[in-house]
């Protein structure tokens, strides 16, 4: 049984891409205020956030919802593509 959802607005977008784009847009401090979860507040990193979000469906849903509601500029999207999706950030 296939779990693909081609009509989903998140189809083809990885959790790492979502977190990275939100981080580039908001930064850790604002992200922690918008979604009050420790992985964004206390010693945040992409790696620890991904680990937590993959194990915690309610938190992942909040992050996905914020991603879908955020208005990203086209310039911001181009910068992200130029950098690639992998990024280390110390907060």
User: How confident is the prediction for the chain on average, in pLDDT?
Assistant: 84
What percentage of residues in the chain have a pLDDT greater than 70? 74
The set of residues, in sequence order, having a beta carbon less than 8 Å from that of 21 and lying 6+ positions away, is 67, 72, 76, 77, 80
Measured CA to CA in angstroms, residue 34 lies from 62, 78, 82 at distances of 10, 24, 27
- Greater confidence (25 vs 75) lies with 25
User: If pLDDT is split at 50, 70 and 90, which confidence band does 4 have?
Assistant: low
Measured between alpha carbons, how far is 41 from 83 in angstroms, rounded to an integer? 25
Query: In order of start, what are the domains of the chain with their CATH numbers?
Result: 15-75 (1.10.720.30)
> pLDDT digit string (tens) for 29-68?
999 999 999 999 999 999 999 999 999 999 999 999 999 9
Neighbours of 26 (CB within 10 A): 17
The set of residues, in sequence order, having a beta carbon less than 8 Å from that of 91 and lying 6+ positions away, is 28, 29, 43, 44, 45
Q: Distance from CA of residue 42 to its chain's centroid?
A: 17
């Amino acid at each position: 049984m296939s779990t693909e959802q081609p009509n989903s607005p998140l189809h083809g977008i990885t959790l790492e891409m979502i977190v990275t784009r939100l981080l580039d847009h908001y930064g850790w401090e604002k992200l922690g205020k918008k979604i009050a979860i420790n992985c964004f507040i206390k010693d945040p990193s992409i790696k620890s956030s991904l680990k937590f979000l993959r194990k915690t469906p309610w938190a992942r849903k909040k992050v996905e919802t914020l991603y879908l509601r955020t208005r990203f500029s086209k310039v911001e999207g181009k910068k992200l593509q130029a950098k690639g999706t992998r990024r280390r950030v110390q907060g």
